[in-house]
Structures are given as C-alpha cells and as structure tokens.
C-alpha cells in the first residue's frame, strides 16, 4: 500500500487541526454544517454536470488506485521476459503456452498468448498498443475527475463566501454580529481550499505518476514480447529493456541476472 496518499491526508488534517487549536478560537468556530454542505454538495452537484455518472460512481476505485502501490516492478517484469525469451529460444514459441499460467499480469499474458497463437507481429503490436492507448485514456479520465473536483471545490468555496458576505452586509446594524458572520462566510473558502489542495489536486498528481509508471512497464512488455517473437537473442533483449531502468535499479538487476545471463547462450 502507498501509505503516502492516506498518510499525507491524515497528517495534513492533523496539522490543520493543531493549527486551529493553537490559534485559540476553538475547533467549534471552524465547523459550520451549512457551509460544509454548500461546498461539498455544490462541488459534487457540479461534478455530476461535468462527469458522466458511471465515472463518478467509480471515483472510489480511482482513489483506491492512488492508495495502492502498483504491482508493476519493472525489474521483475524484465526478469520474467528474459525467462520467457530463454524458453522461446530453447524450445520454440509454442513452448511459451505452458509458461503462460505462471504469468500474473493480464497484459503480459495476453501478449504471450497472441504470440503462441502465431499472430502476425504487426497485429500483435497493434493490439497491444491499442490496449495501452485505452489504458492511458482510462487513467486520464480518472485523473480529470480529480482535476475537475480540484477546480470546482475552491469555486464553490468562493460562492459560499459570497452568499455569507451578502447576508452579513444586509445586516450591519448589529456590529457584534459582523465578526462571527464574516468568519462563517470565510469558512466555505477554507473548506474549498483544503479539499482541493490536500486531497483533489495532490491525488490527481499521484494518479499521473502511477499511470506513467504503469505505462512504462507496459511499454517494456511490448518491446520484450516483440523481441521474443522476432527470435532475438535474450542477452540483447535484456540490454534493450534495461535502458528503460534507472542506473540504480539496473545495477541490482545485473548482479541477480549474472548467472541467468551467462546461461542464455
């Protein structure tokens, strides 16, 4: 699990709570149910205008994605592909059929099965790239949902503050009420900013990083699968795929694979 996502939100809220308490006005001054309803309700109402209902209902799943570490370990994937390349080299492409059952990643499994079926390399490439484009589109969709929420929440915060200010200005006769009224008016802006900057915008950023990582491993898989199908030397495949890795990860991989690498020829 990616403890940063949930941990950051919890720590951020705790800090804000501490800041409020140390400010001396009491936490009660910062909680105003109508203000909460206007900001959260307004933001979600507008997001139903902005986003198809089906996508909004899947927002929990998208958020979950930002909380989970991706299972994709590029190093592991490369090892797996080198193994498959060795099998294919020694026993032919058809021998990969047995290896398929040991593969957990659906995308890699599908690719291997296409190869086993003797699908034309051009078609394999086109099918896998269409799927990657689709995955990218789906991720972008999820990210845009959080971007929309991150833009709408401060806007409804400001709308709430305007509602409060108008009410306050209509009723300036009681000077004692001005302070509290204005303080309540500012709360919606506070809620909107906090929601946007602690949750919606950062989650969208996290989703972008995770999506990029996932697509990188998919790209490694496509490159590897096409090389296997072309019957390339496992050592050259390894060299090619390792260019996708950072030098640090690459080094750990080299030590591990030394034996496997030598036995390839």
Return the number of the residue (15 or 91) whose C-beta is nearest its own copies: 15
Phi/psi region, residue 24 (left: phi>0; alpha: psi -120 to 50; beta: rest), is: left
Residues 232-261 as x/- pattern, contact with its own copies by CB under 8 A:
----x--xx--xxxxx--------------
Least distance (Å) between residue 208 CB and its own copies: 8
Candidates 75-83, 94-102, 128-136, 252-260; binding stretch for its own copies (CB under 8 A): 128-136
User: How far is the C-alpha of 22 from the C-alpha of 16, rounded, in Å?
Assistant: 10
DSSP-assigned states of every residue in 68-102? SPPS--HHHHHHHHHHHHHHHHHH-GGGHHHHHTT
Least distance (Å) between residue 19 CB and its own copies: 4
CA–chain centroid gap for 72, Å, is 13
List 1, 94, 102, 123, residue binding its own copies (CB under 8 A): 123
Return the number of the residue (76 or 212) whose C-beta is nearest its own copies: 212
CA dihedral 173, 174, 176, 182 (to 10 degrees): -60
Return the number of the residue (91 or 177) whose C-beta is nearest its own copies: 177
Q: Give the three-class secondary structure for 104.
A: coil
- By CB under 8 A, tell whether 60 contacts its own copies: no
- By CB under 8 A, tell whether 148 contacts its own copies: yes
- By CB under 8 A, tell whether 217 contacts its own copies: no
Phi/psi region, residue 92 (left: phi>0; alpha: psi -120 to 50; beta: rest), is: left
Return the number of the residue (91 or 93) whose C-beta is nearest its own copies: 93
Least distance (Å) between residue 61 CB and its own copies: 11
Q: Name which of 65, 61, 72, 62 is nearest 108 in CA terms.
A: 72
DSSP-assigned states of every residue in 22-57? HHTS-GGGG--HHHHIIIIIHHHHHHHHHS-HHHHH
Of 11-50, binders to its own copies (CB under 8 A) are: 11-12, 15-16, 18-20, 22-26, 29-30, 34, 37-38, 41-42, 45-50
User: How far is the C-alpha of 243 from the C-alpha of 258, rounded, in Å?
Assistant: 17
Of 152-211, binders to its own copies (CB under 8 A) are: 152, 155-156, 158-160, 162-167, 169-172, 176, 178-180, 182-183, 186-187, 189-190, 193-194, 196-199, 201-203, 205-206, 209-210
Q: Which two tokens stand for residue 200?
A: 């919606």
- By CB under 8 A, tell whether 116 contacts its own copies: no
- By CB under 8 A, tell whether 218 contacts its own copies: no
- By CB under 8 A, tell whether 92 contacts its own copies: no
């Amino acid at each position: 699990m990616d403890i940063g996502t949930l941990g950051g939100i919890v720590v951020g809220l705790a800090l804000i709570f501490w800041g409020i308490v140390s400010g001396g006005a009491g936490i009660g001054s910062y909680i105003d149910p109508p203000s909460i309803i206007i900001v959260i309700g307004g933001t979600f109402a507008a997001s139903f205008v902005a986003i198809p209902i089906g996508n909004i209902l899947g927002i929990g799943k998208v958020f979950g994605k930002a909380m989970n570490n991706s299972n994709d370990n590029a190093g592991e994937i490369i090892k797996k592909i080198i193994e498959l390349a060795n099998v294919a080299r020694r026993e032919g492409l058809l021998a990969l059929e047995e290896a398929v059952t040991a593969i957990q990643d659906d995308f890699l499994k599908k690719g291997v099965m296409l190869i086993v079926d003797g699908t034309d390399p051009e078609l394999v490439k086109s099918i896998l790239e269409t799927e990657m484009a689709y995955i990218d589109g789906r991720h972008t969709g999820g990210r845009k949902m959080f971007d929309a929420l991150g833009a709408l929440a401060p806007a409804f915060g400001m709308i709430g503050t305007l509602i409060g200010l108008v009410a306050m200005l209509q009723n300036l006769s009681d000077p004692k009420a001005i302070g509290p009224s204005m303080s309540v008016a500012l709360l919606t802006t506070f809620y909107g900013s906090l929601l946007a900057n602690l949750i919606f915008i950062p989650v969208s950023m996290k989703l972008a990083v995770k999506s990029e990582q996932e697509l990188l491993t998919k790209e490694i898989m496509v490159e590897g699968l096409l090389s296997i199908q072309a019957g390339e030397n496992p050592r050259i495949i390894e060299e090619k795929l390792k260019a996708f890795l950072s030098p640090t990860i690459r080094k750990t991989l080299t030590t591990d694979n030394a034996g496997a690498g030598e036995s390839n020829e």
